[in-house]
A and B are shown apart, each in its own frame.
Chain A
């Protein structure tokens, strides 16, 4: 069984994003970029399934600028087998991404597509679910544990009240949550090996998908700032303030 893992190039999660003064967006010039952390977890899970003998090949696909090739190389260095870069400059909305992935899935026939539950730039949390709907497949979102058993996959999901397990017919979609696994670091020999692994270059037109954004971003602003308050000296003083000054207890 083949596993397809879409990966997105985003601002590094350690970098604090800065809103541009003209409110047109977040400033990404000269900012450190990296693989979306949830996608790293997806790559790791696919590799573990392959190591357990549940999958035969791990294919990574990225939709983005030429530089997204680096993100694919990172996944190849972790151990993925080959990559597909669908080159697009500028933002691509989740629905267009899902349509491209639908076409890639039709071509590649994976048994499982594992995606990050959301990208840490637009925080949409949509692509996996949209892809599942377009393909008419079942989905296990916010995965905490994934177990494949012949024709089905069991996904333990992180839900608001605790954990829920669902069983899906294969092929299926899984989206990762934070505690699914801890992604490995690529070793130097594997980074060298990854340079020789193939990356196919495609364009959205190859898949007949129009990536023009449908939502119009009117402005991007800083969130309202919260001011720090006062320091208290004792627990009793804290209780007194909460009770008599703030009136919240």
Chain B
């Protein structure tokens, strides 16, 4: 009875979604191994080896895993599958991409985006954009699970697991990586930031997001956006917080010019503290905000910046 966690990384750095997925795996009460698949990613394997509670690292280091293409990840995970009873990956765009392929080939249902582990075979997961929570029992046999990482605390880094290399199965060649346009930012990532400031349609333009950047710089915050702001072309798609974008749960979430559509709330309502600035007193965001400021954001944001400067931020 062993659980395999598939690591999320960029070939250099292990993402903290992995440490959170290990935390979920630990609740299955079975030994945990971590599979690191990538290209020239030995440093990632070393980082994974330090995660508390992990007993072994499997390292598949080959060109074909550089971008974790779903078809190749499926073949790799299946090649080691006989030794494992459960497979867990973070519910990121990577994990969501390859895990259902693994489940289909193992002929088992996948349990998507678990929020909690009730027992080794009972899990809680959101349905209807988080408007309902389903508790499901998995049948006997292998389990394939993706984890909504915002609800699990990362494990500590006090481990020293051995790293074992595994052979890459023959490349399938069904797909080929062509190119990537990644948003470059000096700011923390949305999914791991302690503070997030997000803008909505109320910002009126992409240029106006600079107002939020000034606050973000002072608070070391990540920048986010509502679907309306992304659809309007103010900011790229990877800024989107919501059920169909990123799900976040920072210490502080500041919503600026965001009315609070259900689909946005589903992506941020687990934040510890929510502050909202909106000129519409009736905006639904105020029903869940700990602190609400009714007013013109174009006046309030510069005032916030001034106040932060005065306080030495």
- A associates with B: yes
Complex Cα gap A136–B101 (Å)? 10
Complex Cα gap A16–B131 (Å)? 8
What is the CB-to-nearest-CB distance from B24 to chain A, in angstroms, rounded to a whole number?
18
Stretch from B31-39, B43-51, B158-166, B171-179 that touches the partner: B171-179
Given A214-B109, A218-B135, A248-B252, do A120 and B287 touch, yes or no (CB 8 Å)? no
Residues of B within 8 A of A127 (CB): 100
Within 8 A of A (CB), among B79-106: 92-94, 96-105
What is the CB-to-nearest-CB distance from B63 to chain A, in angstroms, rounded to a whole number?
15
Residues of A within 8 A of B246 (CB): 160
Instruction: Name B's interface SS.
Output: mixed
Residues of A within 8 A of B294 (CB): 231
Q: Which of B99, B238, B272, B289 touches A161 (beta carbons < 8 Å)?
A: B238
Residues of B within 8 A of A232 (CB): 291-293
Stretch from B52-60, B200-208, B303-311 that touches the partner: B303-311
Q: Which of B104, B178, B180 touches A133 (beta carbons < 8 Å)?
A: B104
Residues of A within 8 A of B96 (CB): 125, 129, 141
Q: Let me know if A130 is at the binding interface, CB within 8 A.
A: yes
Q: Which of B97, B244, B307 touches A178 (beta carbons < 8 Å)?
A: B244
Within 8 A of B (CB), among A210-240: 214-223, 226-236, 238-239
Given A141-B97, A178-B244, A216-B137, do A166 and B107 touch, yes or no (CB 8 Å)? no
Complex Cα gap A178–B130 (Å)? 18
Interface residue range, chain A = 35 or more
B135-A130 in contact (CB<8A)? no
What is the CB-to-nearest-CB distance from A115 to chain B, in angstroms, rounded to a whole number?
12
Residues of A within 8 A of B244 (CB): 177-178
A221-B135 in contact (CB<8A)? yes
Residues of A within 8 A of B230 (CB): 179
Within 8 A of A (CB), among B258-313: 262, 269, 272-275, 277, 286-294, 300-301, 303-304, 306-308, 311, 313
Q: Let me know if B154 is at the binding interface, CB within 8 A.
A: no
What is the CB-to-nearest-CB distance from B233 to chain A, in angstroms, rounded to a whole number?
10
Q: How many A-B residue pairs have CB under 8 A?
A: 254
A121-B181 in contact (CB<8A)? no
Q: Let me know if B132 is at the binding interface, CB within 8 A.
A: yes
A226-B101 in contact (CB<8A)? no
Residues of A within 8 A of B269 (CB): 226
* Interface size, chain B (Cβ < 8 Å): 90
Q: Let me know if B112 is at the binding interface, CB within 8 A.
A: yes
Complex Cα gap A233–B103 (Å)? 53
B251-A133 in contact (CB<8A)? no
Given A17-B128, A160-B92, A169-B174, do A229 and B104 touch, yes or no (CB 8 Å)? no
B290-A166 in contact (CB<8A)? no
A168-B175 in contact (CB<8A)? yes
Identity of the chain A residue whose Cβ is nearest the Cβ of B230 in the assembled complex: A179
Within 8 A of B (CB), among A123-149: 123-134, 136-142, 144
Residues of B within 8 A of A177 (CB): 237, 244
Complex Cα gap A235–B79 (Å)? 57
Residues of B within 8 A of A98 (CB): 104
A242-B252 in contact (CB<8A)? yes
What is the CB-to-nearest-CB distance from B114 to chain A, in angstroms, rounded to a whole number?
12
B104-A123 in contact (CB<8A)? no
B100-A236 in contact (CB<8A)? no
For the A-B complex with A17-B131, A178-B244 known, give 12 more contacts whose Cβ atoms are closer than 8 Å. Answer: A93-B109, A95-B103, A138-B174, A141-B70, A164-B177, A165-B179, A166-B178, A167-B176, A218-B136, A227-B288, A229-B290, A246-B273
Question: What are some 18 contacts across the A-B interface (CB < 8 A)?
Answer: A95-B110, A121-B127, A126-B110, A129-B100, A131-B104, A133-B101, A144-B237, A159-B93, A161-B180, A161-B182, A164-B179, A164-B181, A165-B178, A166-B176, A168-B174, A215-B138, A218-B135, A235-B304
* List of 5 A-B pairs having minimum Cβ-Cβ separation, nearest first: A138-B174, A235-B303, A129-B100, A229-B290, A133-B101
Q: Which residues of A contact B (CB under 8 A)?
A: 11, 16-17, 19, 26, 93-95, 98, 120-134, 136-142, 144, 154, 157-169, 172, 177-179, 214-223, 226-236, 238-239, 241-243, 246, 248-249
